[in-house]
């Protein structure tokens, strides 16, 4: 039976990064992957999504400048866009696997099941290790309703050969908002059906309201307070039905009501690892309830957002811990972004929390549409909410909305993590005219 120092289960951004770090410590490392090497982000998540966002950007930027130097806005050709997207996704799996192999890491294809805390089964093979790291990520969740087999998922959307005339997303989270923006820019009639009145719940209510208005102006239709209970197939496509009498006809329906951790097929009971529908339970060393088994990334039950750089941060932490650094994991302020024509980005303390402690925090709420940075693009929506500490002057939180907010939020993340004050910022010269050169007017 083959034996390793560490076996990593799952070759996504978390597992992949950890494998290189542990190999650099001269450990005998193997990675097991059951699907595409590279995991969700580069194959069926962030990266292909952002390729589609590039086409949306080109169209919307041009639209805003029609009559201001641009003659006509371009149209998105979905078939060509998909071909372009494939040039990014097609090489990922083989390239990732080869990269690991070339670094001297053992790569094994197959699904893992634990036999005990030191042994796994992969196909016919049993493999032993001193330590295991579970980095199996998450998969699209499917609502338990009649006709659920008709649901398509985010993975299907990102390889959809043609854009349907009418497209519906059930569940108003990151994926629904991002794909709705893409699909409507590509010419589809788009619906988002959400079970309550609070989509994108983690983001500030006022910002989400602005985003909804913008999407509505682009033709997206929202249906709030609707619990879809059945999907019926018919000649035109599908009918979505609720017990309260809601009915909607669509050509395709996507379940975008959250993702579920891949912790249920690993036979974790055999290894003494505690897990639930929320993910694998870990302590502040990312150690599971089995002493020699750790977990990182989207498969972990945690309060931090489940994002690629968070999986990478945990991989980096765990490599340090296994090398002997005993400190508990502490997360920096984590920026999160909803992509679309206007990005909605936030980091640090939210305005809703700061409002409760007005003695401690100052909140600036600014419409930026008339600022040079956004007026030159004739952007319809540019907004910033910035929260600073009254005591130190340091920035502690921000939420930003603009076509540049996905990049711009990173300056705020650095300012928060570095506890930068306006005085510190004055010591930096930013290139001008850029969004960053507006920083001193915002903080
Ligand atoms: C549509 C979409 C868009 C997204 N956009 C963004 C974004 O813009 N920015 C961002 O930061 N994040 C984004 N995310 C989230 C991001 O993709 C994840 O947070 C990230 O991929 C998590 O990395 P991971 O390594 O923890 O897990 P994953 O990337 O999911 O990798 C886990 C791997 O484990 C494998 N595996 C599972 N079970 C087993 C088993 N039993 N045996 C062997 N292998 C197994 C899987 O096949 C997979 O390859 C997006 C996700 C989706 C779906
Ligand atoms: N830009 C990014 O960073 C990005 C983009 C896409 C995905 N992701 C990651 O993937 C995760 C999953 O994305 P997602 O959009 O599927 O999930 P999500 O958790 O962001 O949103 C799911 C939404 O569905 C709603 N919902 C739940 N049950 C429902 C029902 N029965 N009917 C209608 N609505 C229902 C929830 O209230 C929630 O608002 C994200 O949380 C994030 O971790 C990140």
Q: CB neighbours of 220 closer than 8 A, spacing ≥ 6?
A: 180, 181, 184, 190, 191, 192
Ligand nearest the Cα atom of residue 309: 1
Domain stops at, among 204, 224, 257: 257
Ligand nearest the Cα atom of residue 154: 1
Q: What's the rounded Cα separation, in Å, for the pair 271 and 129?
A: 13
Residue 191 shares a structural domain with residue 310: no
Residue 193 shares a structural domain with residue 73: no
Chain-centroid distance of CA 50 in Å reads: 11
Domain stops at, among 231, 257, 283: 257
**pTM of the entire predicted model:** 0.97
Nearest atom of ligand 2 to the alpha carbon of 174: 15
Q: What's the rounded Cα separation, in Å, for the pair 363 and 398?
A: 9
Residue 184 shares a structural domain with residue 134: no
Residues with CB under 6 A from ligand 1: 9-15, 32-35, 39-41, 45-46, 49, 111-112, 135-138, 154, 175, 262, 265-266, 297-298, 306-309, 311
Is the beta carbon of 30 within 6 A of some atom in ligand 2? Answer: no
Residue 28 shares a structural domain with residue 123: yes
Q: Measure 233 CA to ligand 1 centroid, in angstroms.
A: 31
Does 353 fall in a domain?
yes
Does 401 fall in a domain?
yes
Low-confidence ranges of the chain (pLDDT < 70): none
Residue 158 shares a structural domain with residue 130: no
Nearest atom of ligand 1 to the alpha carbon of 36: 49
Q: Residue 190: give the domain boundaries.
A: 148-257
Q: CB neighbours of 153 closer than 8 A, spacing ≥ 6?
A: 140, 142, 254, 255
Confidence (pLDDT) at 425: 86
Does 304 fall in a domain?
yes
Residue 25 shares a structural domain with residue 116: yes
| CA-closest candidate to residue 318, choices 308, 307, 329, 310 | 329
Nearest atom of ligand 1 to the alpha carbon of 32: 43
pLDDT in tens, 245-255: 999 999 999 99
DSSP 358: T
Chain-centroid distance of CA 163 in Å reads: 23
Is the beta carbon of 302 within 6 A of some atom in ligand 2? Answer: no
Confidence (pLDDT) at 421: 87
Does 336 fall in a domain?
no
Residue 111 shares a structural domain with residue 44: yes
CATH number for the domain spanning 398: value is: 3.30.390.30
Residue 289 shares a structural domain with residue 194: no
Domain stops at, among 236, 257, 278: 257
pLDDT in tens, 385-440: 999 999 999 999 999 999 999 999 999 999 999 998 888 888 999 999 999 999 98
Residue 351 and residue 397 in contact, taking contact as beta carbons nearer than 8 Å: yes
Does 333 fall in a domain?
no
Q: Whose CA is nearest to atom 1 of ligand 2?
A: 338
**CA distances (Å), origin 433, targets 216, 319, 341, 410:** 31, 41, 21, 18
Q: Are strands 119-122 and 125-134 parallel, antiparallel or unpaired?
A: antiparallel
Q: What's the rounded Cα separation, in Å, for the pair 356 and 288?
A: 36
Residue 231 shares a structural domain with residue 274: no
Helix, strand or coil for residue 441?
helix
Confidence (pLDDT) at 209: 98
Residue 344 and residue 352 in contact, taking contact as beta carbons nearer than 8 Å: no
Element (H or E) spanning 313, and its range?
Answer: helix 308-322
pLDDT in tens, 389-402: 999 999 999 999 99
Is the beta carbon of 176 within 6 A of some atom in ligand 2? Answer: yes
Is the beta carbon of 344 within 6 A of some atom in ligand 2? Answer: no
Q: Are strands 237-242 and 247-250 parallel, antiparallel or unpaired?
A: antiparallel
Residue 118 shares a structural domain with residue 10: yes
Element (H or E) spanning 248, and its range?
Answer: strand 247-250
Does 194 fall in a domain?
yes
Residue 179 shares a structural domain with residue 152: yes
CATH number for the domain spanning 64: value is: 3.50.50.60
Which of 226, 230, 258, when mutated, tests ligand 2's pocket best, judged by the most ligand atoms within 8 Å of its CB? 258
Does 186 fall in a domain?
yes
Q: Is the ipTM of this complex over 0.85?
A: yes
Does 327 fall in a domain?
no
Residue 301 shares a structural domain with residue 392: no
Nearest atom of ligand 2 to the alpha carbon of 140: 16
Q: Measure 176 CA to ligand 2 centroid, in angstroms.
A: 7
Domain count, the chain: 3
């Amino acid at each position: 039976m083959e034996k390793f120092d560490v076996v990593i289960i799952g070759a996504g951004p978390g597992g992949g990064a950890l494998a290189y770090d542990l190999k650099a410590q001269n450990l005998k490392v193997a990675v097991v992957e059951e699907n595409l090497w590279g995991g969700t982000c580069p194959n069926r998540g962030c990266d292909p999504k952002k390729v589609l966002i590039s086409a949306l950007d080109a169209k919307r930027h041009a639209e805003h400048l029609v009559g201001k130097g641009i003659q006509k806005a371009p149209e998105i050709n979905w078939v060509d866009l998909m071909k372009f997207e494939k040039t990014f996704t097609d090489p990922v799996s083989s390239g990732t696997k080869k990269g690991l192999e070339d670094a001297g890491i053992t790569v094994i294809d197959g699904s893992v099941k634990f036999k005990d805390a030191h042994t796994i089964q992969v196909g016919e093979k049993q493999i032993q290790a001193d330590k295991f790291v579970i980095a199996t990520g998450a998969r699209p969740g499917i609502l338990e309703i009649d006709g659920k087999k008709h649901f398509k998922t985010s993975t299907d959307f990102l390889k959809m050969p043609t854009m349907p005339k009418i497209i519906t997303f059930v569940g108003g989270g990151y994926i629904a908002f991002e794909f709705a923006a893409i699909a409507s820019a590509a010419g589809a009639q788009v619906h988002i059906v959400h079970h309550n009145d609070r989509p994108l719940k983690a983001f500030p209510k006022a910002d989400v309201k602005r985003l909804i208005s913008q999407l509505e102006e682009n033709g997206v239709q929202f249906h709030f307070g609707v619990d879809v209970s059945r999907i019926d197939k018919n000649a035109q496509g599908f009918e979505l039905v609720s017990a309260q009498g809601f009915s909607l006809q669509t050509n395709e329906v996507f379940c975008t009501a959250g993702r579920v951790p891949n912790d249920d097929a690993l036979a974790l009971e055999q290894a003494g690892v505690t897990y639930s529908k929320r993910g694998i339970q870990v302590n502040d060393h990312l150690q599971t309830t089995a002493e020699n088994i750790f977990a990182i990334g989207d498969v972990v039950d945690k309060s931090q957002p489940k994002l690629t750089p968070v999986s990478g941060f945990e991989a980096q932490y765990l490599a340090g811990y296994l090398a002997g650094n005993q400190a508990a994991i502490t997360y920096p302020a984590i920026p999160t972004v909803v992509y679309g024509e206007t990005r909605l980005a936030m980091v640090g303390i939210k305005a809703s929390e700061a409002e409760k402690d007005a003695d401690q925090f100052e909140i600036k709420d600014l419409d930026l549409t008339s600022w040079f940075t956004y007026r030159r693009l004739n952007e319809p929506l540019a907004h910033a909410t910035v929260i600073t500490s009254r005591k130190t002057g340091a920035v502690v939180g921000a939420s930003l909305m603009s076509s540049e907010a996905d990049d711009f939020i990173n300056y705020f993340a650095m300012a928060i993590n570095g506890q930068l004050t306006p005085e510190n910022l004055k010591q930096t010269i930013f290139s001008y005219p850029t969004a960053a050169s507006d920083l001193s007017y915002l903080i």
